[in-house]
Amino acid sequence: MSEEKKEVVVPEKFKSIVSEIEKMSVLDLSELVKVLEDKFGVSAAAPMMAMSAAPVAAGEAVEEKTSFNVELTSAGESKINVIKAIREVTQMGLKEAKDMTEGAPVMVKEGLKKEEAEEMKKKLEAAGAKVTLK
């Protein structure tokens, strides 16, 4: 198996970041990815899941949906109540719940049963949030 080294051109604005990352060990990189995921409320695996799920959903449009995602589309006027509700339904810390509330639209929880998703939606809407089930 021959290993081909692809030449990557790094834009000037990212050169310092890339040079720092190149100095890191695999464990440090793993920790950095985890910190970035937590900080920005994202997952490095999410784009791959979204890409692989799209063709399946298009082919099975008739089949009833069994898994729901709860998306916070807007925190509304009473952010403090929404933060409290997010903490209650997700067991998150105060900072994470605040960041999620301020980062709307954002997925609160994924892969829930219909009843669980609707219950979570009710709690968040009672706190003043706008919520969409997907």
Whose structure tokens read 């589309």? 73
Contacts for 70 with CB less than 8 Å, ≥ 6 apart = 107, 108, 109, 110, 112, 117, 120, 121, 124, 131, 132, 133
Please determine, for residue 3, whether its predicted confidence score (pLDDT) is greater than 50: yes
Q: Domains plus CATH for the chain?
A: 12-63 (no CATH), 64-133 (3.30.1390.10)
Q: What is the pLDDT of residue 45?
A: 59
Specify the pLDDT at position 60: 47
Q: In angstroms, what CA-CA distances link 83 with 4, 55, 93, 127?
A: 49, 35, 10, 9
Beta partners for residue 109, in sequence order: 70
Report whether the peptide linkage leading into residue 105 is cis, meaning its omega lies within 30 degrees of zero. Answer: yes
Q: pTM for the complete prediction?
A: 0.49
For residue range 47-60, what is the model confidence (pLDDT) as tens digits?
544 444 455 444 44
What confidence score (pLDDT) does residue 5 get?
Answer: 61
> Does 128 or 42 have the greater pLDDT score?
128
Residue 65 contacts residue 111 (beta carbons within 8 Å): no
Provide the pLDDT for residue 4: 58
